[in-house]
Amino acid sequence: MDDLRIAPLVGIVGCLAVLLALAAPYLLLEDASGVALYYGSGAINPLVAGLFALVALIALAAGREGRSDPALSAGVALVLGVAIAAVAIAWALTVRVDVVEIDTLHRWVVAAVSPLVPLGSAWFARALGLL
> DSSP secondary structure string, 58-120?
HHHHHHHHTSS-HHHHHHHHHHHHHHHHHHHHHHHHH--TTSSSS-THHHHHHHHHTTHHHHH
- Give the chain's domain count: 1
Amino acid at 21: A
Query: What integer pLDDT is reported at residue 53 of this predicted model?
Result: 98
Cα within 13 Å of Cα(63), Cβ side: 31
Predicted TM-score of the model (pTM): 0.94
> Measuring CA to CA, how many Å separate 124 from each of 27, 74, 79, 83, 98?
32, 6, 13, 17, 39
**Boundaries of domain holding 28:** 3-127
Q: Is the pLDDT of residue 121 over 90?
A: yes
Q: Is the pLDDT of residue 1 over 80?
A: no
Question: What are the tens digits of pLDDT across the range 30-65?
Answer: 887 889 889 999 899 999 999 999 999 999 999 999
CB 97 within 8 A of CB 104: yes
Query: Per-residue confidence at 81, pLDDT binned at 50, 70, 90?
Result: very high
Query: What integer pLDDT is reported at residue 104 of this predicted model?
Result: 85
Query: What integer pLDDT is reported at residue 131 of this predicted model?
Result: 87
